Structure 1
């Protein structure tokens, strides 16, 4: 079934609002190295979005040149045991919780064993294969079944929409014993 363009934009905006609420329902205690910034005023949202590129009717935040996301650990090709600790790295941008419209910032999404990359012009779905870190987390511990797994990081803006250009790590493969 094909959804008309205007309705698809509405569906995307409702999904984005739902994700923002879900990621902010239980605030993480503030730490010195990861304080949450206050959300920007509505007029700041409009000014920031006016400068960003659009795709499929949704405005995407612009990523600065040279911004990159990467795995601190584990390394590509590593053999690990479960639970697996995964540390995220980011250069050229800041980490900010979902819902915080701060220029040159975003929050991490971990793509696990994903067969097909998500749409870059829509809010990222929250599934077992697309894990959101909307509180601004920079690491996680995963319970993974034994075997080979692929991991990839993708930064999303305050609405869970990838930046333009997308700030995405290269895919790594790990083996869980």
Structure 2
């Protein structure tokens, strides 16, 4: 039987062993953060997408001060110096509309909420049929990037007020 020479493992000092143990602990902690990162809120990882300085979002219809009879209306959305594309599409100077109803602008460094006051048009829509109860309402648009996060600088419309009357 033939013996192979196995190189000897160099002797490590106790200081070297302590450093190695510390590196293993740090490596495991980093791995836990990377792997477990999915459990953290998405906003913790939100990055801003740049918008051109002359970008402008606006409501084409209804006009500010409009009186709507019956509560059902079309909202037509406009955008200058940028393009509209569906959510998830990463392309420079593009985004998709979000309609804010009876609410203020959301946090500009986080994903835009999705609820009855924050309507997402992630398929790239530029008009939408909505229904509102009788009374005064505010409408405002904000453009979101591929992850529904406002651009930097944010692109949003003037807030308008409409009144819905019963038929």
Aligned length: 129
Q: Please point out which of 81, 87, 91 is paired with 1:92.
A: 81
Q: In the alignment, is residue 147 of structure 1 matched against residue 135 of structure 2?
A: yes
> Structure 2: how far apart are the matches of 1:119 and 1:154?
11
Q: In the alignment, is residue 106 of structure 1 matched against residue 95 of structure 2?
A: yes
Larger-Rg structure: 2
How far off is 1:70 after superposition? 0.2
Q: In the alignment, is residue 157 of structure 1 matched against residue 133 of structure 2?
A: no
Displacement over 6 Å in runs of 4+: 6-9
> Structure 2: how far apart are the matches of 1:89 and 1:168?
10
> Structure 2: how far apart are the matches of 1:72 and 1:136?
16
From the superposition, tell whether residues 170 and 9 of structure 1 become closer, same or farther in structure 2 (CA, over 3 Å).
Answer: farther
> Structure 2: how far apart are the matches of 1:104 and 1:9?
30
- Which residue of structure 1 aligns with residue 72 of structure 2? 83
> Is 1:9–1:58's contact at 8 Å kept on the other side of the alignment?
no
> Structure 2: how far apart are the matches of 1:8 and 1:118?
23
- Which residue of structure 1 aligns with residue 119 of structure 2? 131
How far off is 1:65 after superposition? 1.1
Q: Aligned with 2:78: secondary structure?
A: strand
> Structure 1: how far apart are the matches of 2:161 and 2:96?
22
TM-score, normalised to structure 2, is 0.73
Gaps of 5+ in 2: 1-35
How far off is 1:97 after superposition? 0.2
- Which residue of structure 1 aligns with residue 28 of structure 2? none
- Which residue of structure 2 aligns with residue 12 of structure 1? 42
Alpha-carbon RMSD across the aligned residues, in angstroms, is 1.9
- Which residue of structure 2 aligns with residue 167 of structure 1? 155
Q: Aligned with 1:59: secondary structure?
A: coil
> Structure 1: how far apart are the matches of 2:68 and 2:144?
27
